Amino acid sequence: MRIYQAEDYKAMSRRAANIISAQVIYKPDCVLGLATGGTPVGIYQQLVQWFKKGDLSFAETKSVNLDEYVGLSPHHEQSYRYFMQSNLFDHIDIKPENTHVLNGLAKDAAEECAAYNRLIRGLGGIDLQLLGMGHNGHIAFNEPGDDFGLETHVVNLTESTIAANARFFASADEVPRHALSMGIKNIMNARRILIVVSGEEKADIVCQAFTGHVTKEVPASILQLHPDVTLVGDKAALHKLVEAGVSVCG
């Protein structure tokens, strides 16, 4: 695992965006696994800026997103399809038919999940998977205790995840209780993984995930077993790793 410590959120976003842009330049028709949430926003803003400058093109790139809320339409302002359109897809030259997000309104959730697994395999797998990490160590919506062998599946969201996402809704009561999510197996099958973390509130779980045992109770800990993982974080998120003696690059 390579670990890069950035001075702040802006520097972290630029460093992570550099890794993604290098992947796209090296392999223009690559498959990017994309994430939502507050942490990746700065990354997407940087990628859009480079695209607008003419430094980067996504014309041949394909994408698959990690997850989507059950019950939200693609046009709902809190759906992850809407997030991706607003923060990235509408501002770059990626072809709409090459962007893939799970359908939260699917009548048969199990078949939607199975079809997504087939889609990923049909694309040849994920070249680079972008991840964030939740306060309880979840990646995508794989919550503590979930089976590491799962592929895309229906998730019952924990109260801590619902509480963390409530800031995006008018009230906690409006946060969906279920989601469709890639499983740990999908994520671990990606050729490369880029995980980004920011803020003091992530420092404890980051240290636990990457210095402790691999355990289902901290889903991100499984990344210790992947052969090509890069962790990019700001000083606030990584300082406990540094204090624990873990080597980081500036």
**Out of 49-58, 115-124, 154-163, which region has the weakest mean confidence (pLDDT)?**
154-163
Classify each residue of 28-59 as buried b or exposed e, where b means 16 or more C-beta atoms within 10 Å of its C-beta: eebbbbbbbbebbbbbbbbbbebbeeeebebe
Give the pLDDT confidence of 19-30 residue by residue, as tens digits: 999 999 999 999
Residue 129 buriedness (CB in 10 A; 0-12 / 13-18 / 19+): buried
Instruction: State the DSSP H helix or E strand holding residue 53, giving kind and residue range, or none if neither.
Output: none
Residue 172 has pLDDT above 90, yes or no: no
Query: Pick the catalytic residue: 18, 103, 117, 136?
Result: 136
Averaged pLDDT for residues 155-174: 84
Pairing state between β 99-100 and 2-6: unpaired
Query: Pick the catalytic residue: 112, 138, 151, 186?
Result: 138
Query: Pick the catalytic residue: 143, 146, 151, 234?
Result: 143
Q: Is 159 marked active-site?
A: no
Q: Is 174 marked active-site?
A: no
Mean pLDDT, the chain, rounded, equals 95
Q: Is 201 marked active-site?
A: no
Residue 225 has pLDDT above 90, yes or no: yes
Place of tokens 């038919």: 97
Q: Which residue has the higher pLDDT, 32 or 157?
A: 32
Instruction: Tell me the CATH architecture of domain 2-243.
Output: 3-Layer(aba) Sandwich (3.40)
Q: Is 7 marked active-site?
A: no
The per-residue pLDDT for 82 is: 97
Residue 182 sits at φ, ψ, to 5 deg, of -55, 145
The per-residue pLDDT for 171 is: 82
pLDDT band at 236 (very low <50, low <70, confident <90, very high): very high
Measured CA to CA, the distance from residue 178 to residue 184 in angstroms comes to 17
pLDDT band at 223 (very low <50, low <70, confident <90, very high): very high
Query: Pick the catalytic residue: 67, 68, 151, 234?
Result: 67
Residue 61 has pLDDT above 90, yes or no: yes
The per-residue pLDDT for 235 is: 97
The per-residue pLDDT for 57 is: 98
3-state secondary structure at position 131: strand
User: DSSP per residue over 56-99, as a string?
Assistant: ---TT-EEEESEEETT--TTSTTSHHHHHHHHTGGGS---GGGE
Give the pLDDT confidence of 174-206 residue by residue, as tens digits: 889 999 999 999 999 999 999 999 999 999 999
Q: Give the residue among 224, 231, 219, 134 at the shortest CA–CA distance from 184.
A: 219
Domain ranges of the chain: 2-243
